Chains A and B, each alone.
Chain A
């Protein structure tokens, strides 16, 4: 059996997205900036896509800027939030410790430029606390950037409340919603969001296209000079095939949001239930504020890359926050931010699901994973050391 359970890395493109792309690779080849009929035709399609995406976010079309990816949108939003703050003499930014590197590395650059950044702790459950955010806001705070859904542990932050607080205190609020859009309800108006980043390939759209939502009252500086596209803000001929596909994918995801959430959550819960039976395992994140499709576990005594590759041999695609999978020395900064020791963070596994998965696939994962964990433990000196201090849990189980 083959199971793709790495949907937080990327998703398969939907039929709707692929079909939306086809005309743009055929007859719909005009440049939307051209005045002739071919240009007008392409421009109409582009406007339609922008409207669709705006509607899915409850935004206005002119508040949607197409970008090359979610990372670009994060870079743009945060850099702009900081620049606008500095114009008003405010150089303090608030974020948290489990952001994506697209956010963290942009913040590091701003720190080098003289901005001060407060990284809120996320505690054991991976959640930002509102009272801590409130206490961190200062008169010179210009921007709060907190992700909607964490890509590794699936925690869903209290975005609406964070947005409300920021609005009350007159601070710009950006959220990296790359793992949220198309998976959980996102409403920029109700959620009090000023800027939001999204990426098409996380909701069955194509790779290489994303969008930045930016509230119309915010005066963005041009990000790429040299063209009138994206209201002069981001020059460059629009990636029409990708943009049309992104809009089609998002429209479909949002139209089926509730049923997908229900279906995917049920599979997630089945996995969590089954994997919790493995001795010395722990489910990461928050039990109540969890994205429908993200399951993160740590298994003591084993290392994530081995686990990942053994799963791959069994036909299961997953990912791990272990150092070895990233090519760096340290395990995932997200798991470490939860206060997890290095040796346990090395044994992490993420299974991320979407509506294309089936319950049979979950059963297959559960038929393979426990044995793989056990096999790796049986050859692990770390596990053997652990058995010196406790009774072998496998003897107790069966």
Chain B
């Protein structure tokens, strides 16, 4: 079954932005599992004004998993933390000019990875997290592909 990726997806897949790790990250989140074929790990460096100064990612997965991670980091880099909290998978899909239906779960994973990193940031500071961590577990949904 051949799938069509948008040019934007291929761009971010071929030359992903913000790949790597941040040694002094103060928020790290990892979602997905290798059995399903994709794992994303997000590193955030958030300053005292709650601005995301830097963000990096590592992803094991298909082209769309890499592309969604890449664009999600672009979308929150240099932005206030509230923007990361409000990131939606829909916005990620739109920013990539769409994803094939069977790949939409990658955008969900990207949203979850960002939010898991934010949750980690709050947890480290001992502050209650404004997002409900239980709203998603790390077993991401594949429901869209059926």
Contacts and interface: CB of A to CB of B under 8 A. Distances in A.
A329 B145 contact: yes
Interface stretch (A96-104, A162-170, A264-272, A378-386): A378-386
Interface in B71-123: 102
Dominant secondary structure at the B interface: mixed
B1 A324 contact: no
Given A324-B62, A327-B102, A343 B34 contact: yes
A346 B39 contact: no
A185 to B, nearest CB: 34
Interface in A353-382: 378-382
Interface stretch (A12-20, A42-50, A253-261, A302-310): A302-310
Contacts, number: 75
A269 to B, nearest CB: 30
Contacts of B13: 306, 309
A314 B62 CA distance: 17
A323 interface: yes
> Range of interface residues on chain B?
20 to 34
Nearest to B30: A381
Given A381-B39, A382-B39, A306 B61 contact: yes
A378 B36 CA distance: 20
Interface string B40-75: 110000000000000001111111011000000000
Range class of the A interface residue count: 20 to 34
Given A313-B14, A327-B145, A306 B1 contact: no
Interface centre among B30, B39, B62 (most CB of A within 10 A): B62
A326 interface: yes
Nearest to B39: A381
A309 B14 CA distance: 9
A95 B40 CA distance: 39
Interface of B: 1, 3, 10, 13-14, 16, 19-21, 30, 34-41, 57-63, 65-66, 102, 142, 145
Given A327-B1, A380-B60, 9 more contacts: A305-B63, A306-B63, A306-B66, A331-B37, A342-B35, A342-B37, A343-B37, A379-B16, A381-B39
